[in-house]
Each structure stands twice: as C-alpha cells, then as structure tokens.
Structure 1
Amino acid sequence: MSRLLSRLAAILVLVAVIMGISTYTYLTTPLEIDTKTSEFTITAGSSVRSISEQLTQQGILPDAWRFTLLVRLSGQSKQIKAGSYALSTAPSPLQLLEKLTSGDVTESSITLIEGWTLSQILQSIQKHPDLQNDLGDLAPGHLASILGIPAEVNAEGIFFPDTYHFAKGSKASSVLKRAYGEMQKLLQQEWSAKADNLPVKTPYEALTLASLIEKETGVASDRPMISAVFNNRLKIGMRLQTDPSVIYGLGSQFNGNLTKAHLQTDTPYNTYTRAGLPPSPIAIPSLESIHAALHPADSKALYFVARGDGSSVFSDTLEAHNRAVAKYQR
C-alpha cells in the first residue's frame, strides 16, 4: 500500500512539474503571429471570454480558454482597456495581457485648421475613419448638449485649431470637447492680459473679432494692423465693412463671386449694412489672431486694401485709401 501511495505521489509530482513547465512555456513563449496584420480593436464592455475568442479568430491566440484563464487568475479582468492595438513584435501571453491592461493603444490624429467654419470641422470629424461618429443628426441644440454648453451658444468659432491625437475608435465628441476646452482656456488667458480701452467687452466678442482678423489676414505680420483698423472703427461706430463676414452670412447663396448686390443684401452678418460686430464668430481663429484682437497695433488706421501679394496697405484717411485702391485694385 505504501509503495502504491509513493508511486501515486511521484506521478502527481511529475504531472505538476509537467503542467508547471507547460504553463510557464505558454506564458512566456512569443505567440506565433504575423505582426504585419496583427491589429485589433477591443470595444468597451467586452467580456474576457469574447476578447479571447476574438483574438483567437484573428490568429493572435492559439486558443481562447488559456488566455481567458490567465486573465481571470491574474485578477485583471476589469483593467483591460478598450481601444485599438497593434503588435509590432510577437508578444508572449503575459506581455499581451500587460499591453491590454496598460492601455498601450494605437493613436490617430486630426487637424482642425484656423479659418475653418463649423461645417468644415464637422465634415472632417465625421469622415475620419478612426473616429466613432456619435454626433447624431446635429439638430439645433444637439451639439451644445454633447459639449455641455448652453443651447443658445453658437458653436461657430469655439473650437481651437490644432492637431489632436486620440486612440483609434475614440468618439468624435471627445475630440470636439478637447478642442472646445482648449479654446476656452487660451481665450481666457488672452483676455486676462488684454490691452486697455478696447471696444470689445467680453471674451466672446474678442473671439468674434479674432475670426474676422483670421479671415482677412493674408500675411501673418498684418494681424495687429488689421486689428487696429477694426478696433478703431468699433470705437467710433464706423461699420466694419469686411467681406468675409458678408460671405459667411450669404451661406449657400455665395457662388465664389462677391457682387455689389451681395454687399447690399442685409443679413445679421452683413457688416456693410449693420454696425458693430456680427452676432458670432465666422470661423475658428488662431491664437495669433486672438492675441491681435486684444493687442491691436498703435495706429489710427481706418482702412486697408490688399496689395495682391497677400499683404495689405493701411490708411488713416479715406483719401489715402482711395489712392491705394486705385494703385492696387484697379
């Protein structure tokens, strides 16, 4: 009897050793995968079992049950991060688990360009292949609800132009929220350091003025002077008479050729027919344009006209302006 028990004990020890070696080998041996095609996405809320089965079907894991058991025994089931992953080298199962729990996801990016309108921003975001379009039908108030801003706030111009990096599969709204937050932060910083005696009374008015400067600027160095013209006009109640605002107000009616009739067509954005700033920004301004709006050049200029090379000629009087127009526009 004792001899039988000794043999059983020896067998059990041998089995345990074999299982230990097999388990160690499984855990530490690189998986046999083709790293050229080993990209996968884990969706939020996926179970450990469904993740293991997905990776098995894609040829990353040899079977689902061992990896499922590994994750559960490790106690890290809830630490696996949703997102897109790419394997540049063949990991071991332990290394794969570490990758999934550390959130080492692949990134993508999108660039919002200064001067873009809200329509252009939304088109770019909705068409991006690495973003989930959760923006809905964009009915009035819907975008404001997503961003958590008052429904009466016009979303035009409120997103900061920059390149935003994100994990593939991220929600489109998350990018917009970041761009909105960045604009609010930088706008407040610029507002707190603004020049004295400006005609704009709120950060939103400054943002609106900055959008006009952005659309009128052909050469970056002209921004402070363009700002001076607009600020000087606002101070004396002179109409801004800026074409980009008129064009924005025309919307789909504008065919690329601004006519005298257009300038005489009254809209809330027609700065030829209405005094003061338009009711909202007309595009997203750069930080440089925001700074220029709040720090105009020390000038009495009231007019400017394009030279034809992107730069502008600035004049203090209508007589001088007419001479510049005759020289560069006729």
Structure 2
Amino acid sequence: MPIRKILISFAVLSALAAAGVFWGYNKLSDYLTVPRIDKTILFTVDGGSNFSRLGNRLAEQSIVNDLTWWKAVAKLHPELTNIKSGTYQFQEGFNLQDILTTINEGREYQFKVTFVEGSTFKEWLTILNDSQALKPTDKTEQEILQHLASPYKKLEGLLFPETYHYRADMSVLKIIEKAYQHQQQVLNKLWAERDKNLPLKTPYEALILASIIEKESGLSADRDKISSVFVNRLRRGMRLQTDPTVIYGMGERYNGRIRSKDLREKTAYNTYRINGLPPTPIAMPSEAALYATLHPAKTNYLYFVSKGDGNSYFSKNLKEHNRAVQKYILGK
C-alpha cells in the first residue's frame, strides 16, 4: 500500500479515535454534571458500602437512571470513590459530582434539637425521644447520673438549654452529656465571678435559685430584680413563697391552677411551707438566669407580682404588695 494511503488511513483512524474520546469525555461530563435532585432529600450510606454498592443504591432511588458510565467514573475520577457511611443531605439541583463529593468528604447532615429555657427534664426526654435519627437510651435517670459521674440526685437543672446539632444515630445519652458538660462550664465560670456575700453556699444552690428565677421572669429585664427579691428574703430568713416550686412539687396533679390547700400542703418543694431553697432545681435555667442569680440588683424589694403584660411590679413591704395584688391580680 502506498505510503500516502497509509498516512491517510492513519489520519482517519486517529480522527475517529479522537472523536470517540471527545464523545466519551462529553458523555462522562454530562453524566456527572446533569442535575439529578429535584427536591432536597436525606440519603443514608450504610456502613461497609463501596462505590459499586453506592451506584446500585442511587439507581434504586432513581437518582441515577443507568450505571453505564459508573465504572468510567471510578476509573477516571478515583478521588470520588472514597465512600464514607453516614446520612447526607442532597439539595435541590445537586448533580452526581455534588453527590459524590459530599459523600467522599463525609459532610454528614447535621440534625438539631432545641431545648428552651425553663423546660424540665421530663420535657427534655419527650423531645429527645421524638427527635429524628437519635438512638434512644434505656437508662434510668439515676443510671444517667452515674454515667455522668454526677454527685446529684436529679438531672433537673443540670442540662444547658440551647440548640444541639448531631449526626444520624448519635445516642440520646450523648446529647445529655453535652448539655451536662456545658451547664457545668457555665455554672463554674459564673460562680467564680459571683457577687460577694450572697446567701448561697454552693454552685448547686445557685442553680436551684436560677431555675426559680427562670420560671418567674416574664421579661429578661426583670431577672436581676426578681433575683434581688429572693436574695433579700433568704438574707432575712423569709420563705421564698414562689408558685413555680409548688407546681413542680405537685407533679402530675397540677391541672393549671393552684388551690389554697395546695399552698398548705407540705412538700419538699412548697416554698410557702419550707424554709430556704427546695432540694433541687425545678427547671433548666439559662445563662442569663444564672447571671442574674449571682449578680442581683441592689434593691430593698421583698415582693413582686406579675402585671399581666410580662412585667412585674416590685414592692418593699407587704402593704404595698397587697395593693399591687388588688390592682394587677384581682383588678380592683
């Protein structure tokens, strides 16, 4: 065959090969970059999954319509084949490259659970047990306290109320550990910086009083004045006489109102009948409530009553307080 024909044939074959490579490159590029997620979803990669198994799972959920180019992706993009188990969020508009990058980098979806100030441990358990993708715990409250190496008898007040983020299959116990450690850090810091000569002997007593202030304060601006009322009462040896402790002591019996006989009942939490603080906190206090407890306003107030708009009216003596009760509670 003449050299010229050989060269022409070689050129044609080379052109065809180049065209094939170009075609394959474009097909693979389309395979990776065409959007595949039409609405944000959560996708779980099981432990022990490899690249091949992941492809099958994506095909099962119609995220990938065919696996024709799946092996080519593995061969030409080995950086996308390091599969990490976990639960991931694929956002609307994600293409296959977005999906594989998210999984390879282990960017697991962060669930979240929120606990508000003044909530109780019972309420926390309900929220935790209803939270998505959290492993429940069968430990009792006492077993949890032992696990935490906590010296206290109840978890009430010992957990810091805020929003916690977690990955799928994290245990309820882990959230409680985080909240417990956070509350200890906040409490210890604020206790070290407390005002002097407070009628509180331990950080735990501060936690108890802070939980009461949390439940009594409708507005954050009133917290330090409410704190001053209770601190002044403790200094004088007066009973705290605060309804939230009575309600806590009633437990399941509380139906939305406190009757006279409830105020007369002597429980460990009825501060109309006991002297000083109740034995434990009655809720999870916020950092702001703890700060107000340890830095009360300088006042002579001994009483306060809710004005019905979130504010409180403060009084220095019983006569003034009774007038405030007549006005704001009885409407006279």
TM range (shorter): 0.7 to 0.9
The one-letter code of the counterpart of 2:99 is L
Cα deviation, residue 213, structure 1: 0.4
CA distance in structure 2 between the partners assigned to 1:32 and 1:71 by the alignment: 18
Matches within 5 A, 1:111-130: 111-128=114-131
Q: Partner of 2:231 in structure 1?
A: 231
Paired position in structure 1 for 2:298: 298
The offset of 1:323, in angstroms, is 3.3
> Which residue is equivalent to 2:136?
135
Aligned-pair CA distance for 1:112: 1.3
Provide the aligned length of Structure 1 versus Structure 2.
Answer: 321
Report how far residue 206 of structure 1 moved.
1.2
TM-score with structure 1 setting the length: 0.81
Equivalent position of 2:259 in the other structure: 259
Q: Which moved more, 1:33-42 or 1:49-58?
A: 33-42
What is the deviation of 1:44? 5.4
2:83 maps to 1:83: no
Of 197-206 and 158-167, more deviation after overlay is shown by: 158-167
RMSD, matched Cα: 3.5
User: Partner letter of residue 243 of structure 1?
Assistant: D
Quick one: which amino acid aligns to residue 36 of structure 1?
D
CA contact (8 A) 2:269 2:279 kept: yes
Q: How many angstroms apart in 2 are the aligned matches of 1:188 and 1:69?
A: 58
8 Å CA contact 2:36, 2:64 repeated in 1: no
The letter for the 2-side match of 1:263 is: L
Instruction: Tell me how far apart the structure 1 counterparts of residues 150 and 293 of structure 2 sit (CA, whole Å).
Output: 25
Tell me if the contact between 2:86 and 2:168 (Cα under 8 Å) persists in the aligned partners. Answer: no
Q: Deviations over 1:242-279 (max 9, x none)?
A: 11011001100111110111112222211122112112
In 2, the alpha carbon distance for the partners of 1:182 and 1:326 equals 43
2:141 match: secondary structure: coil
Aligned-partner Cα distance in 2 for 1:236–1:156: 27
1:74 aligns with 2:78: yes
> What are the superposed Cα offsets for residues 126-184 of structure 1, whole Å, 9 maximum, x if unpaired?
223xx2242334523343366x3437442112222223344466544444333333322
Distance in 1 of aligned mates of 2:143 and 2:19: 62
8 Å Cα contact 1:141/1:151 also seen in 2:
no
Give the partner amino acid of 1:136.
T
Partner of 1:100: 103
Q: Which residue of 1 aligns with 2:58?
A: 55
Q: Does the 8 Å CA contact 1:42/1:51 hold for their aligned counterparts? A: no
Which stretch of structure 1 is more off in the superposition, 235-244 or 67-76? 67-76
CA distance in structure 2 between the aligned counterparts of 1:127 and 1:105, rounded to whole angstroms = 21
Task: Supply the distance in 2 between the matched residues of 1:222 and 1:290 (Cα, whole angstroms).
Answer: 13
Cα distance change on mapping 1:23 and 1:61 into 2, 3 Å: farther
Which amino acid counterpart does residue 274 of structure 2 have in structure 1? R
Larger CA deviation: 253-262 vs 37-46? 37-46
CA distance in 1, matches of 2:152, 2:251: 20
Question: Aligned-pair distance for 1:37?
Answer: 4.3
The question of whether the paired residues in 1 share the 8 Å contact of 2:88 and 2:102 is answered with no
SS in 1 for 2:58: helix
Structure 2 counterpart of 1:132, which letter? Answer: A
Q: TM-score when scaled to structure 2?
A: 0.80
Matched, 1:240 2:240: yes
Q: Which consecutive unaligned segments of at least 5 residues does structure 2 have?
A: 1-12
Q: Deviations over 1:201-256 (max 9, x none)?
A: 22222111111001111232211111011112222322111110110011001111
> Given residue 318 of structure 1, which amino acid in structure 2 is its aligned partner?
L
Supply the distance in 1 between the matched residues of 2:70 and 2:204 (Cα, whole angstroms).
54
Q: One-letter code of the match for 2:59?
A: T
Distance in 1 between residues matched to 2:204 and 2:219, nearest whole Å: 24
Could you tell me how far apart the structure 2 residues matched to 1:77 and 1:188 are?
Answer: 47
1:193 is aligned to 193
Which one of the candidate residues 42, 45, 49 is aligned to 2:44? 42
1:4 is matched with which residue?
none
Note the 1:259-278 alignment, pairs <5 A: 259-278=259-278
How many angstroms apart in 2 are the aligned matches of 1:124 and 1:175?
12
Aligned to 2:145: 144
Partner letter of residue 83 of structure 1? T
Between the aligned residues of both structures, percent identity stands at: 34
